[in-house]
Chain A
Amino acid sequence: MALTKIIQPKLVKFNLIASDRDAVIDQLADLYLKNGVITDKERYIEAVNERETEGTTGIGGGIAIPHGKSEVVKSSAVAIAKLAKPVEWQALDDKPVEYVFLLAIPDDGDNEHLQLLSELAGTLMDDDVREKLELADSKEDLEKIFMK
């Protein structure tokens, strides 16, 4: 799998400390801004929240996959975080969320990257991947799951 192509170690956070959903997104958006993935944090968060109002992105199993599609996104990316303490996300299974995959999607991204993001989303449905997520003990473990 070529998922390695879109997973950047500097966009992976282990034991992120945040009190609620908004704080998680805010921190990860900060990370994007610092690394030049997005040009305008507020507008990006707006896009993410807009998507969230259409339906929760908490897909169950403690995983959430919020995403924002906006012209302020310069390149497709995914930021991955394991939270120090699970937060409420109104997930499909009503469980709090511990693993967050925040996707950044440009308005007209090239197909290859979007396909990789889609593939990543698909793998999150694997029991195998979910199990490994739970076993992850460090940032490196987290990265390794998708770098097979």
Chain B
Amino acid sequence: MARKLLAVTACATGVAHTYMAEKALIKAAKKMGVLIKVETQGATGIGHKLTAKDVQIGEAVIFATDTKVRDAERFENKKVMQINVSDPIKDAEKVINDALALADKK
């Protein structure tokens, strides 16, 4: 069974980095055979909003955010990894490996 991750990306301006981080995560996950759903919280609103069901399925959540995550209470009981929005842009594979390690940690 494929591994499943969730991510939320957001940056201060909400126009550029949010979406670059999204693409970087998806690109890397695809390459690594990991399924990931990425929610973008940008200036034009929330994109690909994660549903309660998504949250239930995902093993861990990556917050690649430089601002406060909107509706963060959705992820209350999940394992959350907080990083900067530029981290996935720099090295998304490392971010995903870290998140998988977090998911495996008891």
Contacts and interface: CB of A to CB of B under 8 A. Distances in A.
> Is the pairing of A and B real?
yes
Contact of A92 (B12, B42, B89): B89
Given A54-B12, A67-B13, A92-B89, A121 B19 contact: yes
A59 B66 contact: no
A124 interface: yes
Interface string B1-38: 00000000000110111111011100100000000000
A103 B15 contact: yes
Contacts, number: 70
A15 interface: no
A103 B16 contact: yes
Given A55-B84, A111-B45, A115-B44, A93 B16 contact: no
Interface in A39-57: 51, 54-57
Interface in B74-106: 84, 86, 89-90
B84 A119 contact: no
Chain B interface size band reads 20 to 34
Nearest to B21: A125
A46 to B, nearest CB: 14
A51 B90 contact: no
Nearest to B45: A111
A114 B44 contact: yes
**A interface bracket (residues with beta carbon within 8 Å of B):** 20 to 34
Contacts of B20: 59, 65, 121-122, 124-125
A118 B10 CA distance: 12
B18 A118 contact: yes
Interface of A: 51, 54-57, 59-60, 65, 67, 69, 92-93, 103, 105, 109, 111, 114-115, 117-119, 121-127
Interface of B: 12-13, 15-20, 22-24, 27, 40, 42-45, 66, 84, 86, 89-90
28 contacts: A55-B84, A56-B86, A59-B86, A60-B90, A69-B13, A92-B89, A92-B90, A103-B16, A105-B15, A105-B43, A109-B43, A111-B44, A114-B42, A114-B44, A115-B44, A117-B16, A118-B16, A118-B19, A118-B44, A121-B15, A121-B16, A121-B19, A122-B19, A122-B22, A122-B23, A123-B23, A125-B89, A127-B27
